[in-house]
Amino acid sequence: MKSGTDLINEAKGRIRQVTAAEAQAIHARGGATFLDVRDLQEVNLGKIPGAVHISRGNVETKVEGVVPREAEVVVYCASGNRSAFVADVMQQMGYANASSLAGGIRGWAEAGGEIDG
């Protein structure tokens, strides 16, 4: 039997995680899709400028209609756990350039990243 922490750690071991500084550099150069997988009430408090929103529970059924498989994708949530699961699932779905923002939007904000309110 595995705990939730075990599952999160396994997912994080299979994906690429980017730091807030790396994510900010990716955002600044443009061309990447930032995918916010938080719940809508969280997104309403603020998001990374230009981010696309699909709640964690809807990713598997909606992502293909929103994000091309060949896109560079930085997935984020509040702290980096849900986004690790989503990046793992997206890789299984053929998204080779999907990564997770370590520390989530909290880490982004703490590193001085811009937030759209």
Q: What is the pLDDT of residues 9-38, one digit of tens each?
A: 999 999 999 999 999 999 999 999 999 999
Is the confidence at residue 117, as pLDDT, over 90? no
Tell me if 75 sits within 8 A of 86, measured CB to CB.
Answer: yes
Rounded CA-CA distance 39/61 in Å is 16
Quote the tokens at residue 68. Answer: 């091309």
- pTM over 0.75, yes/no: yes
Q: Which of 51, 77, 102, 105 is catalytic?
A: 77
Does residue 6 carry a catalytic annotation? no
Q: What is the pLDDT of residues 48-59, one digit of tens each?
A: 999 999 999 999
Domains and CATH numbers, the chain: 4-110 (3.40.250.10)
Q: How does residue 111 score in pLDDT terms, banded at 50, 70 and 90?
A: very high
Is the confidence at residue 69, as pLDDT, over 90? yes
The sign of the torsion formed by the CA atoms of 74, 79, 81, 85 equals negative
pLDDT-above-70 percentage for the chain: 100
Rounded CA-CA distance 93/47 in Å is 25
